[in-house]
Structures are given as structure tokens and as C-alpha cells.
Structure 1
């Protein structure tokens, strides 16, 4: 109660002060003063101590991107692991898009919409993976620009902005009607995309005292199937020099002995093309599964602004987005009983494909008042974001009824002639519902104090209160692990509050030297049962500078600290359980089994209410140059994290004795609950350069951006292990662009290259390097082209080709052979869509 009283008093004081000053002042809000992501102090120029990458509306159009996720994947700054768009069989992640930067996880990036935080995806893994904003829910047509703060933002925005901040900014004070449509299709006549949007704004804030902006966006995409691409048409990758990843859970039944090993016999004769050695295989890539998920999304945004006085504005913003997805996975695999008492690994084809219909919504309402009066900028904002997800499943089975049916011999998984009515009585339709909600109140004041040698000292103070709520409710059978064909999923119902205060100073200590100093204090509390108040509050400082030895050069640097609280599900999510195979020599001997064992087991992981916050430090040092035709920047950065939350590996858990056997079936249980056991380091260089040429027929700009990783590594105990240069962790991403503006015609070409990596996810250390001859996955390059015509008043026509030379991703056997990944034969850095044609039109009514 005392925390809320302090918050209310601070906000009320700032609000009353702002209104009182506003009533006596006559100056208009100074439009030329802007607030840049990374600072709460408004300034005349956008370039300051913080490295902020800005993607304008024109930049967005030149990429040809049709979704926000696709837009960000085109940036070298963004780490890519796009499993949500590629995999159709992930209970929590399919259809979603997350952002990672600096080699850290998606939970370390703070995503804002017009400067306000959005709720995270309501359904995410118990490990915390996926506990981030689903950027697929943000329509690309509503975005005016994107600002990416790359040196951490905890001191300004909150403790969880460890790796940086991505701020999506929509249009404001818009007076026109803009209608857009776009159509795209792959060169293989699939993956069809259709999108349409309307943006309408009327009223001028300065002249008429109000503005209303509304956008409506519709996006529809057809899926691409694995069977329709050569690289993924079969999970038997021996044709590409890989392994045979076809499943042993065959509809023809592979018989097991009493020790759970395959005998080499089948219940039914196995077709010759499905027989590998003595085992019958099932090719799950040859049908049903998608290589690129379909999508059906609608969204709308409404922003109304009113000028109360010449220096005070009030506004309300409402945002709503809905996505509906349909996913199918293969019929249920399981161990079935023969009349003689032996078991076989089979697949119940008669039951039909497992189906998930996913519906997700994201909404946000914000109301605020802001002003510039008597040399003070001030704002007061309240709002709430709400994300809901419902997964509705079909063709799953009640485990108890299923076991009785198998035990009585009434189900034969090798035929399609079981009693259909009886089969239907075994089925269940699990429903999992989740809701993630953020309710926030914040206020801040900024202004200028006395003069320093380089100019007036700027300052800002602010206070915020955020209530975070999460409910994740699988149905009762799923929670009990009683759904055949699914995994056990834990329920969560928890909330917590965070009260934060910050102070920021902008110090032009010399004519050429500016210093930014900020500190934020965040205090977390929760009424959830079992919450451990361990280090749940901390101050996060930041110190940055920019030095301009000449008007053409600037040196900048920063140091900041951060801490990230565990997600609510990491703290309160109970246990999750999933099927695994134990087959490594070290794992087998650790369980007291022969070194060449190959047995099924269950991995039991999940939450830990005693988890402590992760703590981080970020360093940045850079040089910016503007030489007229040439401009560029180079930034060195480093991030360090302690107390990082991770789960022990299967081998580490076995070595620690964290395993047992289920007394009902003797199946091994390996326990890998979350712990604060890791240290993480990431280090690299960002380079951005461009050169402009004036030609007789227009202006040509050639640019290059690259993010190069020098180091990413982690350690749980003992030695550091490198995570750089192994599976899906390339050393660099590079984009070379050429943009030509020739009046009515404009064109652009982008060449995007992603570095190669070793084809393994084993993390080498000093004493355990990668074996000589470890396979390498080569680098991959795609070229995009876009041409625009604006020769008719109000009309813009676009034609583009993504992946102009139809480059397919390079083969990865690690992906192909490991069901942790998509098993499509390539890393989730890419897609197999291939060449993609786009045609778009935009008409603006002025």
C-alpha cells in the first residue's frame, strides 16, 4: 500500500505541476524537439550518445517486407531463429515471431509500441523461451518507423531491457487517406500472400485542435509444405550426405523386446522403400507438415489527439490485432501391445492428424496527456495491454481410456479397420487458454537547468508502476499428463508488480563533449504463493558520452547495468514433461546401462520459485562520421550476464543424480528444473556505411551494414563453452544495398549474406574443442530487388522479387537429425520459400 501511495503522490504532483504551468503559459509545443529511443530528454538533434538504428517508412517499403517479422529479419542487427514461422507442431511457439539481438534471448529485448510496453505471448515454454512479444501481431502497414536502441535500456525503460529496446512508432497528426494492397506468390506457385490496408487521418492539431488517425490491416498467407521443396521433401537426408531421420514409429509396427530394443521384426510387412536396415520407417516430411506456416491476421489502430491549450495535448490510443492459425501434425505415435505381450512402436493412422487451431489477440489501450510549458516537457500516461491465446486441439486421446483399449486388444494401430465409433469414444479435444496482461501508469518531467560550457544541462525524472499478470490454463487432462499424443503442460496463474523511478541527466560539459547519466530503481513484489523476495529490487545505472572533435566526427561510448527478473512461468509454472531418447555413451553409463543403449525416457523440467534475477553489464564504444557524400559508424559492444537462468543438460542432470524411474512403467525420468547456473558473454562490432552519388538521372546511395560477432560463450560450471560459429550461430550477418531515386522511378537492391557455421550444436571449450573435420555449413546469400513508380499523382506502384536468384538454404545435418529443431534440412536462419514475386499498389487521397 505504501508503494502505491508513493506512486500516486509522485504522479499527482507531476500532473498538477504540468497543468498549473500549462494554464499560465502561451508557448506552443515545440515540434522540432523530439524524444529519441534511449533518452527521456527531448532534444533538437536525434544523434546522441546512444547507438540508435532508425528504419524509416521509406526503408520499410524498399525491403518489400509484408510482415513485421520479415522486416526485422532483413536487418543485420537482428539475430534470427525463426522456428515459430517454420514449425507447425510447437504447442506454444508455432505462428509467433520473436526478436533477439546481441546473441541473447528474446526475453532480454524490450518491445515497445509508441514508447509503451506490450504484453508477452501468453503461451510459452516452461523454460521461459518465447516469453516475449509476438511481433507478428504488429501490422507493418501501421508502422511509420522503427527505432532500435542497441546498448541496453534498463536505466530508462525498466530492468528487463538488457539487450536493448525496439520501439515501433506509428503515424501521428496524419491528414489523408491511404489505401494499399499487395499480392505475392513464390515461383513454385505456393505461399501466396494477400494484404490490404487503409490508413485515414483527419484534423490538424495546430490549426483545428485535433487529429484522428485510424488504420485497418488484413494479411492472409497460404502455407508452403515440406513435400514441395527438394531440401525437405523427405526426412531421409542420405541423398544430401546426411542421416536417415525417418521415425521408427511406423504404421506397420516395429516390434520391441523386453528391454525396449528393436528386434528387427514388423507387425505387418514393411514396403521396401520404407525399410532401412531391419527397421520400418515413417517419413513425416513427405506429407502434411509445413515448411512455412500459413497466416490469417487482422488488426486495427485508432489514435485520437486533442489540443487542450496551445501547449497541452491529450490523446487516447487503441490497438487490436487478431491472428488465426491452423496447424496439423502426424497421427499419434505410441507403444502398442501385441496379443503375445510384446510391444511395438507404431502410429495410429486411423485416428487422423493431430490438429491445433490457434487464435491469438493482442490489444492495448493508452490514454495520456503531455505538454511543453515554461521550459518543461511533461507527460502522464495510463494504459493496459492484453494478449490472449487459445489452442484448440483435435484427434488426441484420453490416456486412461487409451491404455484400457490397448490392454484389451481393441486397438490395432497397423490397420484402419478398428471400430470407428469406439475410436471416437477415446478421443479428447484439449483446450489451452492463456492471457498475458500489463497494466501501467507512468509520468515524467524533463527540462533544462543552468548553463554548462557546452550548453544547458538537461534533466528528466520519472516514475512508473506496472502490474504484470499471466494465466496459462491447459485442460485438466493435459496438466495431469493424460493426453496421448501431447506433452504434459503446467498451469500458471500469477502476477507481480514493479515500481520504478528514474533520473536522467544530459550534461554538455564542454562545447564538444556531452555526457548522459541515468539511474533507475526497480522494485518487484508478488502476492503469488511461493514467491521468494530474493534480490527483487535493484538500481540500474547508465553512463554515456559523445565527443565531437570536429563537426564531421563523433566518438560515443556507454556503460550500463541491468537485471532481469525471471518470468512468471519460470517462477510459478510447475513441471513440464516431454519424451526423449537416451542413447549417448556417457548418458547410458550414467544410468547404469550399457554404453550403446538406446532407450526412451522422459525429461522433466520446469519452474523454480527460488530463482533470482539475472544481472548484466553492457559496454559500447563507437565512432560516427559524416563527410557529406560518405557517412558511417562503427560500434564495438560487449554484454556480460551473471546468474543467467538455464536448465542442466540431460548429461549434467544424470551426473548429478537427478533422475529416477517411474514405478508404473520403469521409464526413466530425467529432472532438469531451471536454475541460476550460467554466465553469458557476447561481444562484437556493428558497422554501417553509405555513400551517395548524384547522377544525371537521379541519386544513387550505396550502403553496407554488418554485425560481426567476436565472441558468444557461456559456462554453467568449469570452463567457458563457445556458442559462436556452431549451429544457427553465424559469426556475421551483412547487408549491401544500392538505392536509386530517379524521380518518377525508384529502385533498390539488397544483397543479404549470413555467415556459415559448424554443423553441430556441441559447444566447444578449451579442453574439448570441436573434432577435426567437423562438417561446416557454408554462408548463404539472397538478393532482393524492388522497383517503384510514382508518375501518377497519388499513386505508387511497386514490383519486387525476393530471393531473386532462387537460392535454397544450405544443408544442415544437425537440423535434419535432431527433433529439437524443424528437421527440414536447414537452420532456422532461412526459409525454403525460394524466389518470391510481389506486386503492390498504394493510392493516397489528399
Structure 2
């Protein structure tokens, strides 16, 4: 080491002290804790201009590798869930109910997965090949966690720098660089309460080459993740007792069973018969708590010196995900006392509505000993019922970067994309049902004598061949493919020297061509799968952008950031996204900052280009038929109650009353949605104002106010509102069947009510319009959202005899969150504090390093919310709770505060080994009951309710 003279030491100390203060200030303002002084210019998310001080005008949170490991996160999505500004949108745990199974998305500020931009090393990653209905998003599950160095989160809009989709913020996942060595890491996790919730991961990371000495560096990482499946059957005993109180049928067996019930008596061969002689089925054996998955993620990146001022680089990201969902077996129920109503869906090829009717067993059937049709309840436990998705995604890029004069420059190009194969089984085929069981006719005419007893057809409760089951329950699904090629470039550097400092400039371009094709198989495309909708797309486009950013030092203490980006998408006017940011630091211990930015989201290919969606809108009330149906249902109920309790017609009348009411006042309507080439981009305005402070050494904090207003949101009109104004809708928008074919007029010919029979019953109550068969619509720029709040961060450390104790507080307070209502023609209620939007989200983390041990204790708190959503949600108000089927008092008509403590410990006393233990939910606290999610269901709504204390063990070994 060079000898330092005594005279040089004061200057050295002053330099070191200055660098240390600059580093601490930077850590304070950017919410990043680092022990190394910033000594070179770096590019921080939210700006293209490199600078020594990592902090710019925008609030940026940094999650470093060590802090991510302390949270116990095993995946990128779990790591992002620790952010107070993040909220759940889509994850692969519940993907079976989405159009995009097997994927996880990011969302910030409650603005959705299409308004949060995800980057890997500053560039976009491929979209998931299947849209979630019309939403196109980045799949977080394709990203390897072990390769991550840090995650930078820009908590304000970023469209002026990064373009479309950055309305709510930007998540930039940055991988390790210049890594040398070989390291292996394995983890295993499970619940300490019940041994379930098991997952394992393994990662191998290697790097070789030194840029300074060898002129190159290569990083390679491969990561495997496995998660086990299990069902509710084994965990119902652990469920919150409050759930049983408000849903007495929770966990109860079902009379939809195997080999079934005929006239509510067990079919011979049933092994679980109750005292009433009914065959029962334990449905919890087939309700999955956690679905299984297998993931393989790989990242290879490298840099090579090509000259004194030039470096080449390349990067390959590849992921393969196999996700599985084991679904409940298909049900069948026919008869007036059986609650399996008709299923309405449609043929996407013709646009026609279709209705499947559950019919009874005919006279003469081997299982029907009576002289009239017999009611029947059944579960197809011999048929497959699952969903499998296999996804391959990739990104390859290569480029050159260098220095020219005082400017840094970079050019890169590449290709990214993916393919998803989504295969489903376990839903009836319309044609297969008719071939293997029989024609359900129009729901009225008598079924054929061989219904459910066809030669070579399906046999109830008996062994059926694979050919029969495959015909009745064929495989069906989608194939999604997406590709995007790109070329981008940028240059940045100082362009002028002012008295207050250097003027920085960054400018560049971005050119892209994208394709997206979502193809349903033939059975879905022709409407052969009972009750299933369709999403399809086949489109491409080329688009590009130019951007520029200037850093202006107005005074030594005042700096401005001015940025703008011009994006051009075919079919839309060129869009300009501006940004103005200010940074004022009058003294080293105090910083003021603020931004104003315009953002946008361009319509994606499923919204604006050629595509079709065929789905179902549930719970629709028909204004032209509901009141009349209610009057008929009231008369039916009154007639039933006038009969003796043991009269069999009493149950028939009551079942009929329920069916009439449901069919007209709460039915599912086929909804056919087309793309709209005339869509405009969604636009937004975001504003932030904050301050950073360092009152004493080793303590710092930030407070930032944020506000986002988004308009021209792409969505669909409310079907209920369209029906209310049916006369003003264009022809072909709302389609109805002829009144003469109305199934609600058909009753048992012997049925008499007030002198009316089945031939004229419903029209006598004033019905003049046929039943709705379908509603046709297209995507429109309809909606708006506005939200605002405060982010608070405090960081510091306290010296103790055992070592410094660190403290990190991260808090988000939502002031308001409002959606535009076309019904009100104004804003809805403030949803902050309402269901799903807690006002307060707080994370507090403490850490201490003592010798070979590192400790971390984390506290998570979410404030309580009501069960009500917006103003039109009357069911979950205090009054609605009190009027529920099982009345809910005001004290339980809310989701109470959420509290959780997590602890982690790491031991590094063995050479090259690090052993870690993370305990999630240290004190085994049960999360608050969510009665809205329960909604009187037979299955608990929340896996975390039975998860309890979670243990995660990790072993890390560095070979070299």
C-alpha cells in the first residue's frame, strides 16, 4: 500500500468524509442503504442521465439482494409483494379462474397490471403469450431471483423515459454484473402448523472473467422452482371458526355425488350414505388450496472489450413454466328440486346463444323405479378435471456501448417472445353429451327413453372407457404466441458547463415490431364446450419512439429535469409524454423534490387490432322481465306456503319460484366483445412532491405526496346500464329470443296457479320481450381513475454493544382512490378504507449483525377496511350485512387490521457457507376473517388462514 504522509491525511480525511456524506444523503433520498460511497456515474431508474449522486427528482425505492433474502421471498413476485406501494393483481395461485393461467403480474397504486412497467436491466421483457381477457402484461415468474442484484422501483410515472404502460410506476430488475466465482443456493419451505405449503428452489450462479484484466466477463444463472399441491380436505380443521359461524355449510358434504342420488336416494354402490339415505361426496377432496408448478429460469449475460472505448454485450433470458390446476369434478343435476339451472353460453363462430338444460332420468331408466321422470344428482368423478399450461418465454439481445468524447453511447437489438399451450379437461362437450348421454332437447320436450342409458354410451356409477370419457369431456384450450423484435439506442453526456454545474443530456430512439396470436381450438371456436367463453387475437404492428432528457443546474442547490418522449403507434395520433422535475437541496441535510408528468398506455393488440372475446356477464337483471318474474315468483311462493308441509308440490313451487327469479334477475348473459380500431390511448397526469431529510448522522427519511389521474381508460360499458337504456342502443347490440320460445312459459302441464297454466303463465304477468340471448359490444375509452397518497420512509441505525441495530420503515397512506361512474356521470365513492384498499400499509424492518450471525425482524401492518366497495354495492353495507342469509353484525362487517411478524437469521461462520432460516408469521397469528371473500361458500376463501407459521431453510455455498 502506498505510504500516506502526515500532511496528506487531513485532505484524505476531508475527501473520505465528503464522499461518505454524499453516499449517506444518496441512500436517504433514494431509500437505499449502502456502505460504499458513490464514486462513479451511474444510471438510476427514472432517468437516462448518469450521475454521481444516485438521487434525482423522482422517488425511487431500492430493494437490495440482502434485504430481499431477509424477507424470505423465493420468487420475484414475492419480493415485490413486500413493497407498500404494490398490490395484488394476478398470481399463478389463482390462475385457474383467469384467461392467463400460470402467470403472475405486478401492479402498483391499484392501477392494474397494464399500468406498471416491468424492465430487466433497463429494457422491457416479453409479454405473457395469453392476455388476461384483454389485459397484456409481463410475467414475473419468468425472472430468476438468484441472479438479481437489486430491484429499483420508480414510484411515479415513467412514460416520458420509458414509453407506454408506465402510468403507475416502473419496476427495474437489475441482475449482477462483473460477478466472478461459482455459487449454489437451495431453499426448502413449508408450514410449521401442518407440514403443507411446501416449495423448493435451487440456483446455480457462475461468473468468470475480469473486465479490467481480461477484457471480458460472463455471468450464467440457472434456477429451478417447485411447488407442491394439496387440497382442503386435510386442512378444514384449521379454518377460522368465524368462517363456520357465517357459512354453516363450510366443508359440508354434497349430494352431487358418485354414484349419485335418484329422487334424493343413494344409487346402489354408494359407500357414503347418510341417515336420510342420500349418497354424499366430500367436495373438499377436490378443492385445491395451492396448485403445483415447475419453473426453470436461465440467464446468461456477458461483456467484452472491443476497443479502448468500446464494449460489446449480450444477454439471453429463457424460462419454461409448467403450471397445473386440479379442478372440482363436473356436476350434473336435473329436476325441480335440484339447484342446477340451465347454462347459457354461445357459439363464437355464429354469435348465437346456446343453452344447456339439465334433465331428469326418464321413465324406464334402470335407476328410475318410478312411473315418472326422476330427479338426479351426480358427480363425474371418473372423468379428468384439470388445467395444464406450459409456457416458454425468451429474450435475446446484443449491442455495443462506448464513449465518444464526453458522451456515453449504446446501441442494441434483439428479439423476445413466448408461447403458451393451455389445455383444459373436465367440462362437458355439447356434442359429446348428446352422443354419450342424450339430447337434452329444449329443456321442455320429453327426453329420449335411452337418456343416460345409450348403447355404448356413458354408464352412471360404472366403469366407462377412455373413449367414452374423452368424447364426453374432451381436451380443449388455447395457444398463445407473441414475438417482438427491437432496436434501440441512446447517447448521454454533458453538453454545457454553467456556473451552477454541468448541463446533462440524454437522447435516443426505440423501434419495435410486435405480433400476438391467441388461438382457441376448434371446440372452443365453435362453442362445443358447455359454458365456456373465448378470447382470440391475430395481429401485428410496428411502432417507434424518440426521447430526450435534459438536466439543468439552475443554481448549485436547484436542478431541473426536463424530459419528453414522442411515441408513434399505427392507427393513433403521435403521442407526446412530457416530464418536469425539480430538485432543491439548500443544505446537505435537506432535499426538496417534485415532478409533473404526462403518461399513457397505448391500446394493445387484443383491444385495437383484430380480436374477439366471448364471455359471460354474471348477476344481470333484465329490466323488461325482472319485475314480472318477481311477481310470478311471489305468487308461486304464496301458493307453496298455502299447501301442507308434506305436499310434494310445495317443494316444486318453491324451486320454480327460485328458478324464475334467478333466470330474470340474476342470470349470466353471453357477452361478445369486438376490438375497436378507433380507440385512443389511455392518458394520465401524475404529480409528486416530497422532501428528504437527515436530521442526525446515520438517520434519514423521505416523505412524498403522489397523485395520479388517468382518463380514457379502455373498458366495456356496463351491461346493466345498457339494458336500462335498451331503446337507445344500436340494432344488434342487445339480442333477444322470440317470446314464443321463452322457456319460462313452460311448466308441468298439470301445474295450475290462479287459473293459469303453462301455456300462458309468464305473458299474463306482462312480459312482452323475449329472454336475452347475447349482448354485443366493443372496447371503448370509457373510464377514469384518480388516486393520491403519501409514502413515508425512515432509515437509520442505533449503536449497541452487540453491534449497530438498523431500522427501516416503509409506509404508504392512501388518501383517496376513486373510479368514474357512468351511472352517476361522476366520481364514485372514495374507496380508500373500503374493501381491498387499506388506507395504511406499513412495513418496519430491523436488522443486526453480530459476529457470524445476521438477524432481521420485520413487522407488517395493513389497516382495516369495510366490506363495501363502491356506492352501488349495497350487499356489503352495514345494512346489507344485517340482511344477509346469515346476518353479519356491524362488528364483523369489515376486514380487521392485518398484523404479521417475520424473523430471519443467517449464519456465515463456516467457510464459504451461509445458512439461513426465515420464519414468516413468527407468532402464528391468524389473518383477519374476510367474510366477503367467503360469501357463504362451502370452501374457505384464503389459504393464508390455514397456512400459519412458515419455515424456510436456505443453504448457500460458494465454490470459488
Normalising to structure 2: TM-score of the pair? 0.76
Deviation at 1:582? Answer: 4.5
**1:218-229 matched pairs, under 5 angstroms:** 218-229=224-235
From 108, 111, 119, the equivalent of 2:118 is: 111
Q: Quickly say closer, same or farther: Cα 1:372–1:282, change in 2 above 3 A.
A: farther
In 1, Cα distance between the equivalents of 2:286 and 2:309?
60
Cα-Cα RMSD = 3.4
From 426, 435, 438, the equivalent of 1:406 is: 438
Q: Which residue of 2 aligns with 1:22?
A: none
8 Å contact from structure 2 (residues 201, 224) kept in 1: yes
Q: Quickly say closer, same or farther: Cα 1:57–1:175, change in 2 above 3 A.
A: same
What SS class does the counterpart of residue 365 from structure 1 fall into? strand
Deviation at 1:552? Answer: 0.6
**1:540-619 matched pairs, under 5 angstroms:** 540-571=577-608, 572-578=610-616, 580-582=618-620, 588-589=626-627, 597-599=661-663, 600-609=667-676, 610-619=678-687
Q: Quickly say closer, same or farther: Cα 1:154–1:88, change in 2 above 3 A.
A: closer
What SS class does the counterpart of residue 184 from structure 2 fall into? strand
Given the alignment of the two structures, is residue 720 of structure 1 paired with residue 827 of structure 2, yes or no?
yes
Deviation at 1:757? Answer: 1.5
Deviation at 1:397? Answer: 3.8
Q: Which residue of 2 aligns with 1:313?
A: 311
Q: Quickly say closer, same or farther: Cα 1:564–1:536, change in 2 above 3 A.
A: farther
In 2, Cα distance between the equivalents of 1:33 and 1:771?
60
Q: Which residue of 1 aligns with 2:5?
A: none
Q: Which moved further from structure 2: 225-234 or 549-558?
A: 225-234
**1:36-47 matched pairs, under 5 angstroms:** 36-47=44-55
In 1, Cα distance between the equivalents of 2:549 and 2:689?
20
From 480, 483, 491, the equivalent of 2:529 is: 483
Q: Which residue of 2 aligns with 1:776?
A: 894
What SS class does the counterpart of residue 96 from structure 2 fall into? coil
8 Å contact from structure 1 (residues 291, 832) kept in 2: no
8 Å contact from structure 1 (residues 88, 293) kept in 2: no
From 260, 274, 299, the equivalent of 1:301 is: 299
8 Å contact from structure 2 (residues 867, 877) kept in 1: no
Q: Quickly say closer, same or farther: Cα 1:272–1:791, change in 2 above 3 A.
A: closer
Q: Which residue of 2 aligns with 1:287?
A: 285
In 2, Cα distance between the equivalents of 1:352 and 1:254?
15
From 780, 783, 792, the equivalent of 1:675 is: 780
Deviation at 1:280? Answer: 10
Given the alignment of the two structures, is residue 200 of structure 1 paired with residue 206 of structure 2, yes or no?
yes
Q: Quickly say closer, same or farther: Cα 1:287–1:516, change in 2 above 3 A.
A: same
Deviation at 1:134? Answer: 1.2
Q: Quickly say closer, same or farther: Cα 1:469–1:104, change in 2 above 3 A.
A: same
8 Å contact from structure 2 (residues 266, 279) kept in 1: no
- Unmatched 5+ stretches in structure 1: 1-29, 256-263, 526-532
What SS class does the counterpart of residue 600 from structure 2 fall into? strand
From 682, 691, 700, the equivalent of 1:631 is: 700
Q: How many residues are treated as equivalent by the alignment?
A: 790
In 2, Cα distance between the equivalents of 1:303 and 1:594?
70
8 Å contact from structure 1 (residues 252, 267) kept in 2: no
Q: Quickly say closer, same or farther: Cα 1:406–1:500, change in 2 above 3 A.
A: same
Deviation at 1:662? Answer: 5.3
In 2, Cα distance between the equivalents of 1:351 and 1:328?
14
In 1, Cα distance between the equivalents of 2:326 and 2:723?
34
Q: Which moved further from structure 2: 582-591 or 831-840?
A: 582-591
Deviation at 1:347? Answer: 4.8
Q: Quickly say closer, same or farther: Cα 1:229–1:734, change in 2 above 3 A.
A: farther
From 737, 756, 762, the equivalent of 2:845 is: 737
Q: Which residue of 2 aligns with 1:529?
A: none
1:767-809, Cα deviation, whole Å (9 max, x unpaired): x987584811101112111001112232211111111122233
Given the alignment of the two structures, is residue 426 of structure 1 paired with residue 472 of structure 2, yes or no?
yes
Q: Which residue of 2 aligns with 1:386?
A: 417
Given the alignment of the two structures, is residue 796 of structure 1 paired with residue 837 of structure 2, yes or no?
no
8 Å contact from structure 1 (residues 587, 651) kept in 2: no
Q: Which residue of 2 aligns with 1:95?
A: 102
Q: Which moved further from structure 2: 835-844 or 753-762?
A: 753-762
8 Å contact from structure 1 (residues 333, 345) kept in 2: no
From 363, 383, 386, the equivalent of 1:352 is: 383
8 Å contact from structure 2 (residues 702, 792) kept in 1: yes
Given the alignment of the two structures, is residue 516 of structure 1 paired with residue 592 of structure 2, yes or no?
no
In 2, Cα distance between the equivalents of 1:721 and 1:765?
11
8 Å contact from structure 1 (residues 126, 573) kept in 2: no
Deviation at 1:432? Answer: 1.6
In 1, Cα distance between the equivalents of 2:918 and 2:591?
37
Q: Which residue of 1 aligns with 2:903?
A: 785
Q: Which residue of 2 aligns with 1:500?
A: 545
1:238-277, Cα deviation, whole Å (9 max, x unpaired): 623247588999348999xxxxxxxx975768999999x9
In 1, Cα distance between the equivalents of 2:382 and 2:217?
56
Given the alignment of the two structures, is residue 750 of structure 1 paired with residue 817 of structure 2, yes or no?
no
8 Å contact from structure 2 (residues 184, 205) kept in 1: yes
In 1, Cα distance between the equivalents of 2:206 and 2:83?
29
What SS class does the counterpart of residue 554 from structure 2 fall into? coil
Q: Quickly say closer, same or farther: Cα 1:37–1:241, change in 2 above 3 A.
A: same
Deviation at 1:287? Answer: 1.9
In 2, Cα distance between the equivalents of 1:292 and 1:792?
36
Given the alignment of the two structures, is residue 693 of structure 1 paired with residue 798 of structure 2, yes or no?
yes
Q: Which moved further from structure 2: 220-229 or 210-219?
A: 220-229
What SS class does the counterpart of residue 43 from structure 1 fall into? coil
1:445-499, Cα deviation, whole Å (9 max, x unpaired): 1111222232010011111112222111110111222113x61213211112221
**1:71-470 matched pairs, under 5 angstroms:** 71-81=79-89, 84-87=91-94, 89-128=96-135, 131-187=136-192, 188-230=194-236, 239-242=244-247, 244=249, 250-251=256-257, 266=264, 284=283, 286-333=284-331, 335-338=357-360, 339=362, 346-404=377-435, 405-407=437-439, 408=448, 409-411=450-452, 415-417=460-462, 419-420=464-465, 422-470=468-516
8 Å contact from structure 1 (residues 62, 786) kept in 2: yes
In 1, Cα distance between the equivalents of 2:292 and 2:553?
52
Q: Which residue of 1 aligns with 2:718?
A: 649
Q: Which residue of 2 aligns with 1:836?
A: 950
Deviation at 1:435? Answer: 1.4
Q: Which residue of 2 aligns with 1:620?
A: 688
Q: Quickly say closer, same or farther: Cα 1:145–1:616, change in 2 above 3 A.
A: same
In 1, Cα distance between the equivalents of 2:303 and 2:207?
11
Higher strand share: 1
8 Å contact from structure 1 (residues 590, 654) kept in 2: no
Deviation at 1:87? Answer: 2.2
Deviation at 1:510? Answer: 0.6
What SS class does the counterpart of residue 548 from structure 2 fall into? strand
8 Å contact from structure 1 (residues 728, 757) kept in 2: yes
What SS class does the counterpart of residue 114 from structure 2 fall into? helix
8 Å contact from structure 2 (residues 246, 936) kept in 1: no
Q: Which moved further from structure 2: 378-387 or 289-298?
A: 289-298
In 2, Cα distance between the equivalents of 1:376 and 1:591?
75
In 2, Cα distance between the equivalents of 1:775 and 1:414?
47
